[in-house]
């Protein structure tokens, strides 16, 4: 079976055009993580959680076989004592008639109290493995960890270890999760690799190009694995697609956009974005952030001129500008870069701050070549792996810090204080 997948993978990479177009040195090998308990077909693995509305959490996990009669989660605020019980659903998918996923189980629990540690068990009644998570607080400060383009390499493992040492509330991933590139078992390794973090803090993700996994003639449906494995709260924000949605964490409204679905004026995503922006109350959520995969601003030589960047920017940049979005995160380019406030390629005090952070640790390595001379709008750029830490201190001020991990030690390399548009009366909201 491994040899068959190897031959299939070569064909798929050629068909999908996933060949490297530029040199990315400094790679580290992919790691493989096998199931920890193959004797129990309902043993929970690949556990991760995500926010659902203001006070609920989705618990997702995979088992080898279905849980009869249905998957359930017990939970409570003390270890071993579970006052809450919720039931959910399960599903699975096939890919190329070679791979069949395990049972993907989902249960939404709540209502939950803010800033509270909950202990939970998922699976069947009597499950022995206990997990825990902490809900985000209902007051400032709010702490976000941010890193994109993760993959499943030793660099990825290093990034996750550094993130785990910082006491954050929510993890934001701007696309390109597993880098399975259609070889589905890598999705399972990714789920096992991130479980120690993703089972303790909500992971909010959007899709990247490596999640598309559509193959001419052979597999027509895009995002099969992504949509099945990483369901986000799109319905709660009025979206009709798991590829774009929004959510609130106290004082912050976050818009997760889809670079690889329709974004032209008149498209469903464009109309949803217009509607979502109109609903925002800046008195309740004074901070407004957006997340995409393909960056709208980028001085790296990598990924220049792609329609997912250029055309999406042409379609949606004005919407974000008029809404006074404070900050836009992107991935895709395997390096770090922070821009000044910009709009339509010019410095603009009322435009968002753009930060590219596709440096989580993927197998393709770093994009090391930048355009020279460095334009005035680009304030800091470096081709190193790492992660970001955003602390929203209050309604007007936040602190951003980028931690480099190129030497396996998390070191601060870039930091800046940011002010929201609530603190800038010249940019009327």
> Could you tell me the two tokens for 95?
């890919």
Q: In a 3-state reduction of DSSP, which class is residue 190? A: helix
* Residue showing tokens 């540690």: 117
Would you call 303 a catalytic residue per the annotation? Answer: yes
179 is written with which tokens?
Answer: 């880098």
CA dihedral 364, 172, 36, 227 (to 10 degrees): -80
Whether 300 contacts 409, CB under 8 Å: no
Take residue 269 and report the two structure tokens written for it: 């995503």
Helix (H) or strand (E) holding 276: helix 268-279
* DSSP line for 43-79: --EEEEEEEETTTEEEEEEEESSPPSS--EEEEESBT
In the set 48, 293, 303, 334, the catalytic residue is 303
**370-376 LR contacts (CB < 8 Å, sep 24+):** 370/299, 370/300, 370/301, 370/335, 371/299, 371/300, 371/301, 374/299, 375/299, 376/340, 376/347
For 429, the token pair is: 């909201």
Contact of 83 with 43, CB cutoff 8 Å: no
> Catalytic residue positions?
303
């Amino acid at each position: 079976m491994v040899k068959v997948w190897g031959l299939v993978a070569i064909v798929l990479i050629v068909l999908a055009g996933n060949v490297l177009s530029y040199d990315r040195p400094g790679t580290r090998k992919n790691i493989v993580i096998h199931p920890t308990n193959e004797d129990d077909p309902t043993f929970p693995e690949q556990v991760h959680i995500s926010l659902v509305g203001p006070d609920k959490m989705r618990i997702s996990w995979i088992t080898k076989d279905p849980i009869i009669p249905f998957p359930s989660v017990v939970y409570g605020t003390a270890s071993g004592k579970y006052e809450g019980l919720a039931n959910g659903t399960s599903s699975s998918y096939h890919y190329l008639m070679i791979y069949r996923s395990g049972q993907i189980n989902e249960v939404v629990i709540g209502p939950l109290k803010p800033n509270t540690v909950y202990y939970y068990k998922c699976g069947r009644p009597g499950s022995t493995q206990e997990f825990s998570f902490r809900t985000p607080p209902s007051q400032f400060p709010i702490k976000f960890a941010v890193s994109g383009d993760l993959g499943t390499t030793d660099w990825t493992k290093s990034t996750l270890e550094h993130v785990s040492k910082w006491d954050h509330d929510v993890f934001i991933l701007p696309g390109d999760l597993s880098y399975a590139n259609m070889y589905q078992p890598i999705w399972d390794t990714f789920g096992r690799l991130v479980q120690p973090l993703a089972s303790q803090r909500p992971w909010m993700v959007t899709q990247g190009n490596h999640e598309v996994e559509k193959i001419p003639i052979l597999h027509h449906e895009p995002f099969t694995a992504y949509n099945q494995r990483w369901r986000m709260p799109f319905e709660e924000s009025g979206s009709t697609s798991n590829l774009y949605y929004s959510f609130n964490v106290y004082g912050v409204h976050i818009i997760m956009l889809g670079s690889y679905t329709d974004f032209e004026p008149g498209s469903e995503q464009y109309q949803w974005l217009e509607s979502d922006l109109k609903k925002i109350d800046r008195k309740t959520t004074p901070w407004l952030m957006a997340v995409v995969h393909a960056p709208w601003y980028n001085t790296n030589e990598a990924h220049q001129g792609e329609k997912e960047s250029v055309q999406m920017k042409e379609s949606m940049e004005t919407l974000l500008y008029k809404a006074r979005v404070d900050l836009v995160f992107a991935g895709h380019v395997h390096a770090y870069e922070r821009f000044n406030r910009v709009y339509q390629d010019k410095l603009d005090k009322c435009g968002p701050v753009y930060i590219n952070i596709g440096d989580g640790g993927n197998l393709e390595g770093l994009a090391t070549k930048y355009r020279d001379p460095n334009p005035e709008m680009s304030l800091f750029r470096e081709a190193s792996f790492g992660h970001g830490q955003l602390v929203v201190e209050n309604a007007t001020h936040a602190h951003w810090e980028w931690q480099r991990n190129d030497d396996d030690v998390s070191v601060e390399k870039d930091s800046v204080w940011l002010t929201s548009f609530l603190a800038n009366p010249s940019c009327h909201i």
